[in-house]
């Protein structure tokens, strides 16, 4: 009798980013359905949250708990430095205890938001290198990627991908980016974002509500010199758009996707100062999906706010901060409804919004068709994953 497979899941999970947690939820759903005997635990950013919410044992990702706080004093700098060394052995020991390790979705191979090489890229490299050394397969499942200019970050991401035993991507842009960075992607597949495997809520009765998903947006890794200017323009443009909706008598529901987005919500609430504008308190991707399903239309910035709205089948307009947003909208048949986050023009955005509402019925039909296709493609993703990581469980061909 064989012992149950020991499966580890890895990433910035339970840390406040609802998109990351939604990807984890999708993979746990797959494991519980296809491999119910598997023993699962996590190495993650928020172990208490993951353990409480998903019922699996979880370990802190970093030995030094102040890893993502700015180090200015000698003690904190020394703590971070020591932590990097300790994490080499902690990560290897954790990986060695498993038969397979899965990195569920997330943009782990990109730097479209500000990122330091010695942060998560270093942690991912330790994971993949440990997997190769201990002969534990590491699978990057449905991940996002983008070409990276910063050389240290680029090197860590490239080697992480090369050392992984399995890779699949959430869009073609991601696979192309890894090929551009020198990774052999000849056997890598592209599937829809893992969050499309989550159950969609039932559509609500039309209420006139518009969900506006906001983000603490300061540009990407290459925009640090003008980060505050980008943020100011983003906030001003979004606020003007919300104010215009209120002047039309539309109820507006503000959504976030990460704990860091709260100050943007507060700033818009203060600036518009209307009872028509309220803020949602979503604790999971499922909560966000319910919010978007209850709206007539969604206008959103964060990638997984878009995923939720599209999965719910609600007409959606993307305020895109990276090419992945445009790619997602194209894939779901709404490529005409994209607007740049770095250069928000409230008048143009309002014009696009009104066009989307005019064609709402057509948009809903389009999303229904594309969601059905996404479900079929993700079924193939999970079957592919079983074949790659659990060969003894994969169905055998009859000859």
Which pLDDT belongs to residue 154?
Answer: 93
Which pLDDT value is given to residue 3?
A: 83
Residue 221 has a pLDDT of 72
380 near 374, Cβ under 8 Å?
Answer: no
* CB-based contacts of 6, cutoff 8 Å, min separation 6: 38, 39, 97, 98, 99, 100
| pLDDT tops 90 at residue 193 | yes
Q: What contacts 270, CB < 8 A, 6 or more positions away?
A: none
Taking residues 318-335, report their average pLDDT. Answer: 95
* Whether pLDDT at 264 is above 90: yes
Mean predicted confidence (pLDDT) in 267-277: 97
User: What is residue 392's predicted lDDT score, i.e. its pLDDT?
Assistant: 73
pLDDT at 203: 78
Q: Using alpha carbons only, give the angle 340, 238, 304 rounded to the nearest 5 degrees.
A: 65
Share of the chain above pLDDT 90, in %: 79
Q: What is the pLDDT of residue 22?
A: 93
CATH of segment(s) 6-190: 3.40.50.11930
How would residue 398 be classed by pLDDT, with cut points 50, 70 and 90? very low
At residue 140, the 3 state secondary structure works out as strand
User: What pLDDT is recorded for position 381?
Assistant: 96
Interval 71-102: pLDDT, tens: 556 556 666 778 788 999 999 999 999 999 99
pLDDT of residue 69 exceeding 60, the answer is no
Q: Mean pLDDT lowest for which of 34-38, 118-122, 296-300?
A: 118-122
- pLDDT at residue 72, rounded to an integer: 52
Q: pLDDT at position 79, please?
A: 67
Picking from 284, 319, 131, the residue whose alpha carbon sits closest to that of residue 211 is 319
Domains 6-190 and 210-372 belong to one CATH topology:
yes
Torsion angle of C-alpha atoms 310, 199, 107, 14, degrees rounded to 10: 130
pLDDT at residue 73 in the model:
63
Q: What is the mean pLDDT of residues 16-42?
A: 95
**Average model confidence (pLDDT) across the chain:** 91
Between 392 and 186, the higher pLDDT residue: 186
Q: What are phi and psi of 87, to 5 degrees?
A: -65, -25
Q: What is the pLDDT of residue 345?
A: 94
Average pLDDT of 196-205? 88
Give yes or no for a contact between 294 and 287, defined as CB atoms under 8 angstroms apart.
no
Any idea where the domains of the chain sit in the sequence?
6-190, 210-372
- Which residues does residue 254 pair with via DSSP β-bridges, in sequence order? 212, 279
Which residue would you say has higher pLDDT here, 217 or 204?
217
Is residue 248 predicted with pLDDT exceeding 90?
yes
> What average pLDDT does this structure show over 290-302?
96
Asked if 334 and 247 touch (Cβ cutoff 8 Å), the reply is: no
Quick check: pTM over 0.85?
yes
Provide the pLDDT for residue 287: 92
3-state secondary structure 281-303: CCCCHHHHHHHHHCCCEEEECCH
Q: Looking at the predicted structure, is the pLDDT value of residue 138 above 50?
A: yes
What is the mean predicted confidence (pLDDT) over 381-386?
A: 96
**Homologous superfamily in CATH for domain 210-372:** Glycogen Phosphorylase B; (3.40.50.2000)
Position 316 scores a pLDDT of: 98
pLDDT in tens, 338-374: 999 999 999 999 999 999 999 999 999 999 999 999 9
């Amino acid at each position: 009798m064989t012992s149950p497979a020991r499966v580890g899941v890895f990433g910035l999970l339970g840390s406040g980013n609802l998109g990351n947690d939604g990807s984890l939820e999708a993979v746990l759903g797959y494991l519980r359905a296809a491999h119910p005997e598997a023993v699962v635990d996590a190495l993650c950013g928020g172990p208490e949250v993951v353990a409480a919410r998903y019922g699996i044992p979880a370990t802190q990702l970093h030995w030094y708990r102040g890893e993502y706080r700015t180090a200015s004093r000698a003690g904190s700098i020394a703590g971070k430095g020591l932590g990097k060394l300790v994490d080499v052995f902690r990560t290897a020991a954790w990986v060695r205890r498993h038969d397979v390790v899965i990195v569920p979705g997330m943009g782990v191979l990109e730097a479209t938001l500000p990122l330091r090489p010695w942060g998560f890229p270093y942690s991912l490299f330790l994971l993949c290198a440990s997997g190769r050394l201990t002969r534990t397969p590491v699978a990057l499942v449905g991940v996002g990627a983008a070409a990276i200019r910063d050389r240290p970050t680029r090197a860590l991401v490239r080697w992480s991908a090369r050392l992984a035993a399995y890779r699949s991507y959430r869009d073609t842009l991601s696979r192309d980016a890894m090929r551009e960075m020198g990774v052999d992607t000849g056997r890598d597949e592209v599937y829809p974002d893992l969050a499309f495997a989550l159950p969609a809520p039932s559509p609500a009765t039309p209420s006139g509500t518009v969900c506006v998903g906001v983000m603490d947006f300061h540009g990407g890794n290459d925009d640090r010199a003008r980060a505050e200017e980008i943020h100011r323009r983003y906030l001003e443009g979004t606020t003007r758009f919300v104010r215009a909706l209120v002047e039309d008598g539309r109820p507006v529901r503000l959504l976030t996707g990460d704990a860091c987005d709260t100050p943007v919500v507060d700033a818009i609430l203060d600036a518009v100062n209307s009872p028509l504008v309220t803020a949602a308190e979503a604790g999971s991707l499922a909560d966000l999906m319910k919010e978007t399903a209850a709206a007539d239309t969604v206008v959103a910035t964060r990638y997984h706010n878009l995923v939720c709205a599209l999965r719910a089948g609600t007409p959606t307009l993307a305020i895109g901060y990276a090419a992945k947003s445009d790619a997602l909208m194209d894939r779901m048949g709404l490529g005409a409804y994209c607007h740049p986050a770095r250069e928000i023009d409230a008048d143009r955005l309002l014009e696009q919004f009104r066009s989307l509402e005019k064609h709402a019925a057509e948009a809903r039909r389009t999303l229904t068709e594309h969601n059905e296709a996404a479900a079929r493609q993700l079924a193939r993703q999970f079957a592919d994953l079983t074949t790659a990581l659990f060969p003894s469980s994969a169905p055998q061909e009859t000859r």
